[in-house]
Structure 1
Amino acid sequence: MSSAPTTPSIDEAGHAGARPHSHGPGSPVPVQTRSERFASSVHADFEAVTGRELEWRLTPVASIRDLIDDALDGSPFAAEVTEAPGVAVEWIDRTDDRIGSAGLAEERAAANAWSSFERALAVTLSAEERVVVTIDRTGVDHAPRAAHTVITARPNARGLVIIDNRGSARLSENVEIVAEAGSDLTVVSLQEWDDESVHLSSQFGRVERDARLTHVVVSLGGSIVRVNPSVHLAGAGADGQLHGLYFADAGQHLEQRVYVNHIAPHTISRVTYKGALNGAGARTVWVGDVLIGRDATGTDSYEQNRNLVLSDGTRADSIPNLEIETGDIAGAGHASATGRFDDEQLFYLRSRGIDEQEARRLVVLGFLIEVVQKIGDEALETRLIDAIERELEAVEVV
């Protein structure tokens, strides 16, 4: 049975249960297709994590073991949401039909968060005039916590939702995003945590007929940050634009695992993630999975990941994967590259009187700003450019 997201069943305790599946944990049948990965909202349904599993082998599991297995504080995670016309904000119970409407946890840490949260923050956009909403979340301690957020764009709604993460936290969460028919929704997940923070976030998107979802991940702060977006293009003509920007300093681990599932015909996806690494022990992980299903005729898809290495002692893992189950597509491709500066760009800038250090700074800024410009909000774009500038001032590019 396919693991395309459906509303899960609810047990007597009010917990969403696992969907029937033939390839669950312990099954002798290997998972051949990304959509067949086991999914459940129940922590106990997943086997213990050893760190050798495909989805964990590039992650510092020992440093996040409490978020994977220990009890989590599931009380509502403090958040302030800006008011805007046509935007409803509420805390909803676990039994609400919106819970599980975009997807289910596919690994043990996400299931632990799902099993632990008490109430979910629901933000619903209904206005056809574009609105900007900020979910301002400031962590205040290091107690292991769980959170759940549901963002819904009603038919033909337009809006930008910014999940602004700052402060100190040790957080595991699930974020569900539903773009209903004809809507145009942008969701930005911004991680500017303090240096000691740990953040695991599974983010599920479902895009209906002729709707467009732009999903942007920006990870700059935190000790370990792992954000896994999964977007299901479920309606004909659905459009998924997934972009990411990350800058890893010494000792930071920034990880993104992206999945785009083309279910319906004539769907479009573009995945562009760019990162920079500077300092001993800086580590980034990007895994990109794109599945073009048997019914997704006319699909147009492309994914790419680019990493710019600024110093010795860093490591960037980049793994693109593409599965195609139909021969009737408009196009599909993927690319990955990791390297140092383009000598021609540096030569061009230096030939015009710019010193080498400044030339390198401009190259890094120009490399990353492409993703910033995908957001479509001048104030936020300016803020992120300033943040990147600060990152560059704090390190010596060699």
Structure 2
Amino acid sequence: MTEAVAEKQTAQHGLVAHSDGDWANRVPVQTRSERPKSTNVADFAPVTGREAVWKYTPVAKLDALLNGELDGGRLPVSVGEAPGVSSEWIARDDARIGRAGIPEERAAAAAWSAFSEAHLLRVASEEKVTAVVSRSGLDASPRAAHTVIEAAPHSEALIILENSGSAQLSENVEIVVGDGAKLTVVSVQQWADDAIHLASHYATVGRDASLVHIVVSLGGGVVRLNPSIHLDHEGANGEALGAYFADAGQHLEHQVYLDHDAPHTRSRVTYKGALQGEGAHTVWIGDVLIRNSATGTDSYEQNRNLVLSEGTRADSIPNLEIETGDIAGAGHASATGRFDDEHIFYLRSRGISEEEARKLVVRGFLLEVIAQIGDPATEERLQAAVEAELGESPTALGGA
């Protein structure tokens, strides 16, 4: 076909070529697996907010992290002592960086381009240990960070990342789970109200290994945390759990990706959120890909949102892509709604006030996820944080 004929056919279909490339022949990315990847921020176009990956996010608030100069120096980090868990800073060209995954969008690529050293946590204990990593005092300057969590073969640990205070932070977290290892990683967001936190978590799970990834987002002005779990070895197990509570004006976003790329892998995704107050906005997008190589896969994802007052918005989008018919099972579910009147009636019939009954329902709704952490002190602290959230707006609860 000559160039003249091609231009004529393009015009017939109402398309006009522009100077920014041969856009008329470009096919938009339809699935998560097709997204371009790069560690170089220059490979990603500036974010407009119209892109599929950004269209639910208040991008105007993220300009410093998307387009500005980021401080990639060491973060103020405190690591609790735990036998068999080591902590060190490694150079950005270390071979242990880049094993779990690389960015699919501009914010993660900007953070990857800017960091100078990565914080490496290595687990070697075959008896379960718990290590708490606290990060606070970051102030409001735009920063980039990179963390690598590595679980040696047949090791077992619980790693808790606690975030608090003010911050403008964009980061990448890599999780490498060795063969036969059992690792739980918990990311807790209790930022100050003015904080902005963008995070991409990437995980690769070894043969017959297990990763439980738990997100608890309670604080921060804008929190966008996207975990990608790659089940790329036979018998790998991945669980992605999340609990979040959005108040007035708060944006909490989670985009979860489970990539089944080996036989007999298993995944479970459960995210639960509550919203109260004018302008509270939550976003959950769950992508599950079962590749042709992932025969015998067993997968299920679900998202539940509980609306406590008027003026809130919960976006919930589950996606399931299956490339093979030889699977054990796959499914997804999503629901957003108000209180179950039967639950409230039952509790009130037992002498509990309506306000307290509503609080009890919310506690049980969120604590189902928090109770999976496995560290009593952290669970108790987060339960108290949920109690505080509920105590801030009794009028809204009573009117839901």
Q: Which residue of 1 aligns with 2:15?
A: none
**What are the within-5 Å matches in structure 2 for residues 84-103 of structure 1?**
84-103=82-101
Q: Which residue of 2 aligns with 1:346?
A: 344
**What are the within-5 Å matches in structure 2 for residues 106-255 of structure 1?**
106-255=104-253
In the aligned structure 2, how far is the partner of 1:291 from the partner of 1:252? 30
Q: Which residue of 2 aligns with 1:329?
A: 327
- Which residues of structure 2 form unaligned runs of 5+? 1-21
Please give the per-residue CA displacement for 1:19-73, whole angstroms capped at 9, x wherever unaligned.
xxxxxx9782433432221111000011111110000000000010110111100
In the aligned structure 2, how far is the partner of 1:212 from the partner of 1:39? 26
Contact 2:266 2:297 in 1 (8 A): yes
Please give the per-residue CA displacement for 1:271-326, whole angstroms capped at 9, x wherever unaligned.
00000000000000000000000010000000000000000000000000000000
In the aligned structure 1, how far is the partner of 2:165 from the partner of 2:61? 19
Paired positions, count: 374
In the aligned structure 2, how far is the partner of 1:185 from the partner of 1:344? 39
Q: Which residue of 2 aligns with 1:270?
A: 268
In the aligned structure 2, how far is the partner of 1:122 from the partner of 1:201? 17
Structure 2-normalised TM-score?
A: 0.92
Q: Per the alignment, in what secondary structure is the counterpart of residue 60 of structure 2?
A: helix
In the aligned structure 2, how far is the partner of 1:357 from the partner of 1:34? 42
In the aligned structure 2, how far is the partner of 1:139 from the partner of 1:204? 25
In the aligned structure 2, how far is the partner of 1:139 from the partner of 1:307? 32
The CA deviation at 1:224 is: 0.3
In the aligned structure 2, how far is the partner of 1:383 from the partner of 1:264? 38
In the aligned structure 1, how far is the partner of 2:253 from the partner of 2:89? 29
The CA deviation at 1:139 is: 2.9
In the aligned structure 1, how far is the partner of 2:264 from the partner of 2:36? 27
In the aligned structure 2, how far is the partner of 1:28 from the partner of 1:317? 28
In the aligned structure 1, how far is the partner of 2:228 from the partner of 2:161? 17
In the aligned structure 2, how far is the partner of 1:365 from the partner of 1:190? 17
Which amino acid in the other structure matches residue 97 of structure 1?
A
Which amino acid in the other structure matches residue 120 of structure 1?
A
In the aligned structure 2, how far is the partner of 1:279 from the partner of 1:148? 34
Please give the per-residue CA displacement for 1:78-124, whole angstroms capped at 9, x wherever unaligned.
10111211111110001111111100010001100000001000000
In the aligned structure 2, how far is the partner of 1:346 from the partner of 1:32? 42
In the aligned structure 2, how far is the partner of 1:235 from the partner of 1:123? 22
In the aligned structure 1, how far is the partner of 2:223 from the partner of 2:357? 30
Q: Say which of 77, 81, 84 aligns to 1:83.
A: 81
Identity %: 63
Q: Per the alignment, in what secondary structure is the counterpart of residue 220 of structure 1?
A: strand
- Which residues of structure 1 form unaligned runs of 5+? 1-24
Q: Which residue of 2 aligns with 1:298?
A: 296
In the aligned structure 1, how far is the partner of 2:244 from the partner of 2:284? 10
In the aligned structure 2, how far is the partner of 1:82 from the partner of 1:38? 37
Q: Which residue of 2 aligns with 1:19?
A: none
- The answer to whether 1:314 aligns with 2:321 is no
Q: Per the alignment, in what secondary structure is the counterpart of residue 139 of structure 1?
A: coil
The CA deviation at 1:381 is: 1.0
In the aligned structure 1, how far is the partner of 2:385 from the partner of 2:274? 13
In the aligned structure 2, how far is the partner of 1:258 from the partner of 1:302? 13
Which amino acid in the other structure matches residue 156 of structure 1?
H
User: More deviation in 241-250 or 380-389?
Assistant: 380-389
Which amino acid in the other structure matches residue 189 of structure 1?
S
The CA deviation at 1:383 is: 1.1
Structure having the larger proportion of residues in helix: 2
Q: Which residue of 1 aligns with 2:14?
A: none
Please give the per-residue CA displacement for 1:156-186, whole angstroms capped at 9, x wherever unaligned.
0000000000111110000000111000000
Segments of 4+ moved more than 6 angstroms: none
Q: Which residue of 1 aligns with 2:10?
A: none
In the aligned structure 1, how far is the partner of 2:324 from the partner of 2:138? 49
- The answer to whether 1:379 aligns with 2:377 is yes
